[in-house]
Structure 1
Amino acid sequence: MPDIQYLGHSCFRLRGRDGTVICDPYDRSVGLDIGKPAAHIVTVSHQHPDHANVAAVKPLRERMFLIEGPGEYEVGGISVTGVRTFHDKQKGAERGSNTVYVIHMDDIVFCHLGDLGHELTTHQIDEIGNVDVLFIPVGGDETIGPAEAVSIISQIEPRIVIPMHYALNEQRSFEHDLASVDKFVHEVGLKDVVPEEKLNITSNNLPSEAEETRFVIMKPST
C-alpha cells in the first residue's frame, strides 16, 4: 500500500513495501526547504538545481540508487522506466531534455512527468503505458500550463491526477512566475477542494476504468 507525500515544487516521496522513492528533489532556489528526506531510490527528470538536489536526500541503504535518464531499471522489487521527452516545444532547443518516469510499486503504476514542456507523441504515450497515478506540472512558464495539462491528462488517461510545479505561498525567491494551482482547479472544474497531507493508494481504492479520473490536490509537507 504505497503512501504519497508532497514535499513541494515537483518533489514527491513514494513509500511502499519494497522501498522509498524520491522524485525531483529541489534546492533552496525554489524558496522552500526540502529538509532531509530519506530514500532508497532518487529519480531526476533533468539537471536543473530545483529538480536535481540529490545531496539533500539521505540514503536508506549503504548505496542510494540514482536514476538520471531514460532506460529500464529494477531496484529491490521496484521497477522504473525513464522515457525521453523535452523541456520545451522545440525538442529541447530552448531548455534541453526531460525524462518522464514510470514507477511500478506495490502493483500501482505512478508516472512523474518532471518538467514536461510539450504534448506527448504517440510513441511516448506507448512507452509510458497504463498509469494509475499521474504527477503533472501545471504552473506554466517553463513547463506546460493548466490547459496543456488537461490535454496531456486526456492523452494518458490516468486514474488519479496530482498537480505539481505551481506557485506556493511559501515561495518568495523562485525566479519563475508560476501560476497557482487554483487556475488548474478552475480548468478541470473542481469544487470545494480540500488539500490532502498524505495519500494512501491501493488497487482497491483506485477509481475503476469506468469511473472519472480523480483529482487530488496535496498539501506540501515541508
Structure 2
Amino acid sequence: MRLLRCGQDSLLVELDSLEQVGALHAALVAARLPDLMELVPAARTVLVSARPGSTGLAAARAVIESADLSRPPDRSPRTIRLPIRYDGPDLDLVAETAGLTVDEVVELHSGAEYTVAFCGFAPGFGYLTGLPEPLRQPRLARPRERVPAGSVGVAGEFTGAYPRASPGGWRLIGRTTAILFDPRRTEPALLAPGDLVHFEVAR
C-alpha cells in the first residue's frame, strides 16, 4: 500500500489488487466518517477526499492504516439485471479469439455473475469483474470513434455497458436497453460499486 497526498484534503491510496480496493473501500464506508466527502475506487487505487479544513483526512488515514485488506467486504449487495441482445459487431471476433462458437460466447457471458468493481470513464459506466476466462481479450487495435449507447463490451478482465454514445475500444458483443445513467433520478447511476449484475438474454 502507498499513500500519496493529493492537495490539502485528499489522499490517493495505491493498492495491489481489485480485492484490496474492495476491502479498503468497504472499510472506509463502514467507518462512517462525518467529514469524508468522497470515495472514488478504481482498478488499483482509492481516492479519499475530506471536508476542507476538517480533521477528516487524518481520521481516514487511521482507518486506512488499520484496515484488513485480506478481508472481503461485508455487504448485502443489490442485484441488477440487465437485458441484453447479443448482436454486437465484434461477437464473431470474440468467439474466434476464444475458440468458441457464438452460442457458447452468449452462454458464458450471460451465465456469469458480475460485480461492479468501480465506476469511471463516463457517468454510469461500471467496470464489471467476473468475466469468464475465455472472454478476457484485449481491446481493439483501433478504437471506434463512436460506440452507441447501451453497447456491451469486453476488455481485459472486465465487461461493461456504455451509458451514452462515446469513443471506445472494447470488443462489442451486444447491447442493452437499460438506462445506465439518468441525471433526473435520485441516484443517477444505475450501477454502484459492490452491486451484483446479471445479463439476461432479451427475447
Which TM-score band applies after superposition, normalised by the shorter structure?
under 0.3
Bigger radius of gyration, 1 or 2?
A: 2
Normalising by structure 1, we get a TM-score of 0.26
